């Protein structure tokens, strides 16, 4: 019987409660099979070892409804379960137009925060159809399936709420395209790695404070990036080229970076980096982490010394967005199915160009402009925004030796 054929026929909602164990679902449907019912819908949830199993079925055609009810209750009692059977008509009501996935990250996630998010969804006209926990570590990640309101106004409303209550919220439209996002492009400095690469070079040149001051102003959007890049690189003139190997050894990956990349790769994603830093570091990261794409500025080296200049195309704010588009074209991925991650003002064009722009521990101007923000120090939490569960992450960890270290 099709869904349309069940719209006005009598149906029964069979609900089973109790301690979970193998075989309960099979047992329920084996019992129902004797009455030649059709299955209209099924839902099952297990929380802390307690089962809630719901089956929406048509009325029996080979015996009275009362006999089916008695049989189900008897079967449930034999397994020390509780059963509830509710008569009705037809299927569940159709979900409203406009469907979104709302991912909430908390560390911890409190009841007060959850209440605030749920209330704001309702105020926006949305209905929560389903709630599912994606992860309990390193943060609590919960996904709400919401219908009845458009994605953009819901995203705006929840972004304001999330900022006020101290959680991270991502809102993306539902549909197959969510699972089809196959390219992730990241900024490097203070995103993929914990450092600002030019400051590592500056430390060897004895001008770290001067460079850090210019870097901070540029990242706040107070200085033109290209001008600040040239000004900082000039301070490195005369450094021996051997410093490149020293800086590579000093680079510290952000917690969760390896897990993020390893999981994405094993799930079929392509992964790239774009950086206002230098190819002398990003090329090494590409090889070490098994990245598909990498682009950055290049420090000029002549006669074994840094000249204080960069060569080639400048990777600035506009350049990062341009490279995202280039990588997407080379990967054969529509721009709408890309994910960009960054923290600074020079990442804004890239974040806005991507299908999903994620501000990672970002400056305020970036958090306000991006599609969503993550404010915990674990880069792999971005996986939860893509609907990837902790179980899938851990499955990827079993294959860790298959990827570069």
Residues annotated as catalytic are 187, 189
DSSP 8-state secondary structure symbol assigned to residue 194: S
- Please give the Cα distance from 108 to 134 (Å, whole number): 14
Q: What are phi and psi of 377, to 5 degrees?
A: -85, 25
Of 291, 396, 397, 351, the closest CA to residue 170 belongs to: 351
The position carrying tokens 């190997």 is: 245
Give the DSSP letter string of 62-109: SS-HHHHHHHHHHHHHHTT-EEEEEEEESSPPPPPS-EEEEEEEETT-
Q: What are phi and psi of 330, to 5 degrees?
A: -70, -35
Of 265, 333, 326, the closest CA to residue 295 belongs to: 326
Give yes or no for a contact between 290 and 296, defined as CB atoms under 8 angstroms apart: no
SS3 355: coil
Q: Helix (H) and strand (E) counts for the chain?
A: 15, 15
Decide: residue 398, CB within 10 A, 0-12 exposed, 13-18 middle, 19+ buried.
exposed
Give the start-end residues of each E strand in 254-355.
270-278, 293-302, 305-311, 338-342
224 to 71, 186, 299: CA distances (angstroms): 76, 21, 19
Q: What are phi and psi of 10, to 5 degrees?
A: -65, 135
Q: Within 13 Å of residue 313, how many CA atoms lie on the same side as its CB?
A: 11
Antiparallel, parallel or unpaired: β 293-302 and 356-360: unpaired
Q: What are phi and psi of 95, to 5 degrees?
A: -70, 150
Antiparallel, parallel or unpaired: β 293-302 and 305-311: antiparallel
């Amino acid at each position: 019987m099709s869904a349309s054929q069940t719209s006005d026929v009598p149906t029964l909602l069979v609900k089973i409660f109790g301690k979970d164990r193998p075989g309960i679902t099979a047992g329920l449907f084996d019992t129902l099979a004797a009455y030649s019912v059709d299955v209209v819908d099924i839902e099952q949830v297990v929380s802390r070892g307690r089962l809630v199993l719901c089956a929406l079925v048509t009325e029996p055609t080979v015996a009275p409804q009362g006999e089916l009810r008695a049989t189900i209750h008897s079967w449930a009692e034999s397994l020390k379960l509780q059963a509830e059977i509710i008569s009705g008509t037809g299927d569940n009501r159709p979900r409203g137009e406009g469907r979104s996935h709302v991912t909430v990250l908390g560390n911890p996630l409190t009841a007060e925060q959850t209440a605030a998010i749920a209330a704001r969804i309702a105020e926006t006209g949305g209905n929560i159809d389903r709630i599912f926990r994606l992860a309990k570590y390193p943060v609590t990640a919960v996904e709400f399936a919401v219908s009845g309101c458009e994605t953009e106004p819901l995203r705006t409303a929840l972004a304001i709420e999330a900022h006020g209550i101290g959680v991270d919220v991502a809102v993306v439209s539902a549909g197959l395209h969510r699972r089809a996002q196959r390219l992730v492009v990241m900024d490097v400095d203070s995103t993929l790695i914990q450092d600002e690469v030019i400051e590592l070079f500056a430390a060897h040149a004895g001008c770290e404070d001067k460079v850090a001051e210019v870097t901070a102003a540029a990242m706040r959007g107070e200085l033109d990036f290209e001008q600040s890049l040239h000004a900082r690189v000039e301070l490195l003139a005369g450094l021996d080229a051997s410093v490149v190997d020293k800086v590579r050894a000093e680079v510290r990956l952000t917690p969760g970076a390896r897990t993020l990349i390893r999981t994405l790769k094993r799930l079929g994603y392509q992964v790239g980096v774009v950086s206002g830093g230098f190819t002398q570091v990003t090329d090494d990261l590409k090889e070490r982490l098994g990245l598909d794409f990498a682009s950055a500025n290049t420090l000029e080296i002549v006669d074994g010394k840094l000249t204080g200049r960069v060569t080639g195309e400048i990777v600035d704010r506009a350049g990062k967005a341009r490279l995202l588009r280039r990588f997407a074209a080379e990967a054969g991925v529509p721009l709408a199915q890309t994910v960009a991650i960054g923290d600074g003002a020079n990442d804004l064009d890239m974040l806005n160009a991507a299908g999903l722009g994620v501000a990672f521990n970002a400056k305020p101007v970036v958090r306000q402009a991006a599609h969503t923000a993550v404010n915990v120090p674990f880069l792999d939490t971005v996986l939860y925004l893509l609907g990837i569960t902790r179980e899938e992450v851990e499955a990827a960890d079993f294959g860790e030796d298959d990827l570069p270290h």
